[in-house]
A and B are shown apart, each in its own frame.
Chain A
Amino acid sequence: MRTRLLLLLLPGLLCAQSLQDFEKKVTSFTLPNGLQFLVIERHDAPVVSFHTYVNAGAVDDPGGSTGLAHMFEHMAFKGTPQIGSKNWVKEKAALDAIERAYDRLEAERNKSFRSDKAKIAQLEAALKDAIATADSYVESNEYDRIVESNGGVGMNAGTSEDSTQYFYSFPSNRLELWFVMESERFLRPVMREFYKERDVVREERRMRVESNPQGMLVEALLATAFEAHPYHNFAGGWASDIESFRRTDAEAFFKKYYVPGNMVISIAGDVNPTQAKALAQKYFGRIPAGKNPPLVRTVEPEQNGEKRVKVASPAQPFLVVGYKRPDDQSPDAPALDVLTEILSGGRTGILYKEMVRDQQIALAAQAISTYPGSKYPSLFLLFAIPNTGKTVEETEKALYSILERVKGETVDPVALQRVKTKLRAGLIQSLDDNSGLADTLASYQAKYGDWRKVFTELDEYNKVTAADVQRVAKQYLIETARTVAWTYAPQAEGAAK
């Protein structure tokens, strides 16, 4: 009884309190060139975290150059004319020579069956020489060395379908160093060592996709579920594209998408907002304004029937099911998030309770509200790992019977309230971490135009009724909008004889 009362009281109280308190800590400003900044003050420790959110990702890869957004992300660590070069004038000439050599090689290759093999070999050797010449001017990994030796931690970046994000933390006395380093790489990045790094990116694909059964499965799911929209391509890109795109392609991508109006930067920690604003103007004000890039034109046509794909793998079976869902601006987005939590939040999610705990059909089962992105209509994803001795068919059937029940009856009000309480408490518990705050606020600012959505979203969740959850389940979790992918053991060679 006491618990119930508490539940009813908790949500409203905490929300109003936290947003009001929190607003005092946040300063936002936009530079004349359109670059938005958020500064979140937390003075407890002399450290500060930085997060740069670029509203461009793998969906923006040009045709024939999938993986390019990711490739640029790697190149953003290669330095500038001043950082990473032993002699910029000579290096620049050598870099240009590489492209000319590559042009000649491509021209010969493009003759297709008429091309001269001996000439190709000769041009390949020339390209290799040109690369070696340029490499001789490189001060390797200088960008990373500066950051690391100044006490930078957690430096990394990630490219998803919708965005590319760069982040790390410094001791707070290195604030200005971050402004120098981050503004330089987006003002005048030098894409040196491009073709070596292209090999590294190719290795990353081998590691994450080609040598990983789950990676291969998800790649097949996306390629099947999306026929026209670029969510069709796994963010890392296809092997042949990675092996052939050029430095000039990456430079064109950078020019088109890395314009200040398409980026949001947040800084969280022991930082003075006035000082941060002055530094932002001084360093990032140098980046010229540009035209905001276009959205993806292609709209995925309506799916007209279930699609199924299986992937051969000697690994134990794995099942992924995706249903078409709208983007994150849809009025149904909050109800879909709540549905996700009801299905797979914590130890009380229905999928865990029934499939893992009670029926023991699956070792794990989970729902993901939106995958692979959310900026465009995407997938409501469910995955399950069949228990030993259980087949994918049994697992799939058990999953559907749960979904049918969710569609057939309204959810338990206690479960619904529990989800709302958890979403709220989860937010509160995440407010004492600089890097997490910088990430979340920058992402929300970029995706919704207002970081406050982090808090106001809770009100939207709070308004979701049991009927809403049932309605979105009925509307979206339908067979004709479903794509199913699973791994299966191929017949051993010789066994079929």
Chain B
Amino acid sequence: MKRLSLLLLITAAGCFAQNAAPAVPTYKQLVYPPLKEVRPPEPVEVTLSNGMRVFLLENHELPVVRGFAMVRTGNLFDPSDKRGLSQVMGEVLRSGGTKTKTGDQIDEDLENVAASVESSMGETSATVSFSGLKETEDQVLAVFKDVLTAPEFRQDKIDLTLNQFRGGIARRNDDASEIPRRELLSLLYGRDNSYGWSTEYEHLNRIKRQDLIDFYTRYYFPKNIMLAVYGDFNVAQMQAKLEQLLGSWKAEQAPVPAFPQVTNKPAPGIHFAARADVTQTFFSIGHLGGTLRDKDYPALEVATNILGEGFKSRLMSQIRTKLGYAYSIGATWAANYNHPGTFRIGGSTKSASTVETIQAIRTEIDKMRAAEVTPVELSEAKESVLNSFVFFFDNPEKTLNRVMQYAYFGYPKDFLFQYQKAIASVTRADVLRVMKQYVKPEDLVIVAVGNPKEMPKPLSTVGTVQELDLTIPQPKQETAAADAASITKGKALLAKAQQAMGGADKIAAIKDVTVTARLNLPPAQGGPIAMTGYSMPGPVRQEQTLPFGKVIVFSDGKTGWIGTPQGVQEMPGEVLKQMQGEIFRQLPAIFLADRMAGVTVNAVSDTAVEISGNGQSFRFEFDAATGLPAKMTYLDGGMEATEAYSDWREVGGIKLPFVSKLDAGPLTVSEYKFNTGLKVEDLGKRP
């Protein structure tokens, strides 16, 4: 055993090979030839007759033409009550099609020739881009123009996008590694402004097609757009082509205002969210930083490079290599073009070493602020920036992008070379000075997500901990303003409906209801489902017959359960909330809303009332001719849901709808039975 391992060691260490192989220089003996001079390409800048600035860069390596329009807008311009608007707009600008083609038609047209046109919305700019083989240039440019200048924002794609965004909200806490950075940025920039707030269901619910059109109209006009085109073309010909294509687009708007200022004064502290499903603590630590324009930005780059960028950095050496605490750990001085960025340290470590890792990070920051870095550290950090400088120019498209960014944010054309010079002149004293001046341990905000059960030392060992609440807010029921007149009017509308149904007293006489119905889903979604519902004022039981067996749902409004062939499960909180809404809206009891304590019936128009109370709210629209309810609108799991009623027939002296058109499909009732003597115990009986 011993001999064997010894033998392996010798071989692996390469002693035999070393002796046999001819001598070669070590890395220290190498002498490098000077690097070939780099001449960055110069894009040609022109302005179209409508005021759009255009940057053109020829490159004939591949038969490809690509480009992008950069629009001065961004999600920083989202209205507070309709957060997410700009991004929804950016998405539907493309998917919602144009005046002449639907988005789906555009998908097929472009992909048939392997081309693309895409739209996206960032924080401080939006882009509409295109890409295609040279042969398809005219076709792709025509679609690009159409998307940029004549979007139609079709409602089905607005709904799809809102739905996708809602899914994003529901899933935003699933991957624990994504949480700390997001929450840190919110804490640093403040949750009350577009730099730091998050989009919630309630904001999405307020976004309507007209909002998208208004946002588009305000920002997408020629003088507010810079266009870059790159690839296999002739500059003069492309210029003429663009003038012909886009010159007639003359939309005008007032100049777009400046982006909002960052005004938040974040409070330092530790914020912790507990999770039972992780074995690591994910953390992000930081404070507000600066812009690329700051005179000390180059020195800060060098300083954070030494502290925590790449394998050679102090954080990596100490926390990953020496301590083995983390796989990922790093620091960055994330500066922006036009507003303060952040200084951040992020990573993850096994739960048990959380406290030690945070202490080790603090120690490394303190050391950087207490003494100068070594000459070797400084020269290696500077060399890694200066020697890799050529990678700023390894692809002409990168140069074009940079020229665009500088022009967009008003930076000097030679900014990159100024930066290069500044890096070369950074001294050890500069590094110490900027670390002391700009990195403030006392200002650090720490956000961590982890499993406290696996932590032998609580996080409070490193400071006072505040709980970070990651609960996703369910949309608030929005109720219209009510006054005495609107309430009187609302009650009158409801009274008219009661009358049309057969009278309030007859409705009041119903003590329990049994409904037999069928939900007619399209075949693609599983086909029709047979169901029976039992309800009394309060508890509800629903039985559905599905291909794999019977599903029974019960709730009394406080608790509930779901029974499937696999067994009975307690009702999850979200479903319970939905059930509470269903119980509140239960037909026919809800038609007596005017007799319920704490419930308001308020007219919101001449034919609609809003019924609210017990944390619930929904709207009834009445048929002006018959006085009967025509449609119910409510929020279900964050989304607007509707039920439209028809086929009213008389049962036991009152009229009830035999068809309810739900969003999923029509629900047809075959029978209503009243007062069969249902008991709560029977309803709540588990299978």
Q: Counting chain B CB atoms within 10 Å of each CB, which of A151, A204, A313, A348 scores highest?
A: A151
Give the residues in chain B near A426, CB-CB below 8 Å.
Answer: 114
Chain A 97-119 near chain B by CB (<8 Å), digits 1 or 0: 00100010000000000000000
CB distance from A199 to the nearest CB of B (A): 3
Chain A residue at minimal CB-CB distance from B62: A432
Contact in complex: A188, B14 (CB < 8 Å): yes
CB–CB A153/B321 < 8 A: no
Q: Which of A390-398, A444-452, A470-478 lies on the face that meets chain B?
A: A390-398
Other-chain contact of B395, A153, A214, A432 (Cβ < 8 Å): A432
A291: CB under 8 A from chain B? no
Residue of B nearest to A386 (CB): B167
- Whether the Cβ atoms of B390 and A45 lie closer than 8 Å is yes
Which residue of chain B has the shortest Cβ distance to A213 in the bound complex? B174
B residues less than 8 Å from A96 (CB atoms):
6, 9
Given contacts A180-B30, A203-B349, A210-B278, is CB(A389)–CB(B637) below 8 Å?
A: yes
A144-B383 in contact given A6-B135, A188-B13, A288-B17 (Cβ < 8 Å):
no
Q: Is B61 an interface residue (CB 8 A)?
A: yes
Q: How many residues of A contact B (CB 8 A)?
A: 120
Instruction: Select one of B131, B177, B277, B388 contacting A313, CB under 8 A.
Output: B277
Cβ of A19 within 8 Å of any chain B Cβ, yes or no, is no
Please measure, in the bound complex, the distance between the C-alpha atom of A207 and the C-alpha atom of B80, giving whole angstroms: 35
Q: Which residues of B contact A169 (CB under 8 A)?
A: 391
Q: Which residues in A have their C-beta under 8 angstroms from that of B316?
A: 141
Closest residue on chain B to residue A428 by CB atoms: B62
A286 contact set on B, CB distance < 8 A:
17, 20-22, 24
- A303 on the B face (CB < 8 A): no
Inter-subunit contact B327/A387 (CB<8 Å): no
Q: Mark B29-53, 1 if CB is under 8 A from A, else 0.
A: 0101111101000000000000000
Stretch at the interface among A121-129, A376-384, A487-495: A487-495
**Proximity string of chain B (445-475) to chain A, C-beta cutoff 8 Å, 1 when within and 0 when not:** 0000000000000000000000000000000
- B63: interface (CB < 8 Å): yes
B675 contacts across to A, CB distance below 8 A: none
CB distance from B163 to the nearest CB of A (A): 6
User: Residue of A at shortest CB range from B318?
Assistant: A140
- Whether, in the assembled complex, A10 has its beta carbon less than 8 Å from a beta carbon of chain B, the answer is yes
Docked pose: A171 CA to B391 CA in angstroms: 8
| Closest B residue, CB atoms, query A152 | B388
B30 touches A176 (CB 8 A): yes
B18 touches A149 (CB 8 A): no
A429: B residues at CB distance < 8 A: 62, 64, 131
Residue of A at shortest CB range from B380? A149
A384 to B279, CA, bound (A): 26
A251 within 8 Å of B (CB atoms): yes
Given A188-B12, A188-B13, A199-B325, check contact A144 B160 (CB 8 Å): no
B570 partner residues in chain A, CB cutoff 8 A: 491-492, 495-496
List chain A residues, Cβ under 8 A from B395.
45, 432-433
Known contacts: A171-B388, A211-B277, A315-B171. The answer to whether A151 contacts B383 by CB under 8 A is yes
Q: Is A375 an interface residue (CB 8 A)?
A: no
CB-CB contacts below 8 Å: B88-138 with A: 104, 107-109, 111-116, 131, 133, 135-136
Chain A residues whose C-beta falls within 8 Å of the C-beta of B350 in the assembled complex: 202-203, 206
Give B133-151 as 1s and 0s: 1 = Cβ < 8 Å from A's Cβ atoms: 1011001000000000000
| Stretch among A294-302, A327-335, A358-366, A455-463 lining the B interface | A358-366
Q: Is the CB of A148 within 8 A of B312?
A: yes
Contact with B along A313-349 (1 / 0, CB 8 A): 1111000000000000000000000000000011110
Task: Give the chain A neighbours of B8 by CB distance below 8 A.
Answer: 248, 251-252, 255
The reply on A44 being an interface residue by CB < 8 A is yes
| Cα separation A255 to B114 with both chains bound (whole Å) | 46
Determine, out of A52-60, A227-235, A416-424, the stretch whose residues face the partner at the interface: A416-424
Return the chain B residue nearest A363 by Cβ: B167
Summarize B's interface: helix, strand, loop or mixed.
mixed
Residues of A contacting B: mostly:
helix
Q: Taking A149-B380, A150-B383 as contacts, is the C-beta distance between A394 and B13 under 8 angstroms?
A: no
In the complex where A363-B167, A424-B114, A492-B570 touch, is A207 in contact with B327 (Cβ < 8 A)?
yes
- Across-interface contacts of B282 in A (CB, < 8 A): 211
- Interface residue ranges of A393-443 to B (CB < 8 Å): 393-394, 397-398, 401, 414, 417-418, 421-422, 424-426, 428-429, 431-434
Chain A hits for B167, CB < 8 A: 363, 385, 387-388
Q: What is the minimal beta-carbon distance from A173 to any residue of chain B, in angstroms?
A: 5
From A61-69, A76-84, A158-166, A218-226, give the one contacting chain B: A76-84
A172 at interface by CB-CB < 8 Å? yes
Q: Which 6 A-B pairs have the closest CB atoms?
A: A188-B14, A151-B387, A199-B324, A425-B114, A144-B311, A286-B21
Q: What is A's interface to B at a CB cutoff of 8 Å?
A: 3, 6-7, 10, 14, 44-47, 77, 80-83, 92, 95-96, 99, 103, 135, 140-141, 144-146, 148-153, 155, 169, 171-174, 176-177, 180-181, 187-191, 193, 195-204, 206-207, 210-214, 248, 251-252, 254-255, 270, 282-283, 285-288, 313-316, 345-348, 353-354, 356-357, 359-361, 363, 385, 387-389, 393-394, 397-398, 401, 414, 417-418, 421-422, 424-426, 428-429, 431-434, 489, 491-492, 495-496
14 residue pairs from A and B, CB less than 8 Å apart: A10-B135, A14-B133, A47-B391, A141-B317, A149-B379, A149-B384, A151-B386, A171-B35, A177-B32, A200-B321, A200-B324, A200-B326, A212-B176, A388-B167
Q: Taking A149-B383, A151-B387 as given, write out 5 further A-B residue pairs in contact, using a Cβ cutoff of 8 Å, ordered by the A residue number.
A: A6-B135, A188-B17, A199-B324, A203-B324, A203-B350
Q: B-side interface residues toward A, CB under 8 Å? A: 1-2, 5-6, 8-9, 11-14, 16-18, 20-22, 24-27, 30, 32-36, 38, 61-64, 104, 107-109, 111-116, 131, 133, 135-136, 139, 160, 163-164, 166-168, 170-171, 174-177, 276-280, 282, 310-312, 316-317, 320-328, 348-350, 379-381, 383-384, 386-391, 393-396, 524-526, 548, 569-570, 572, 636-639
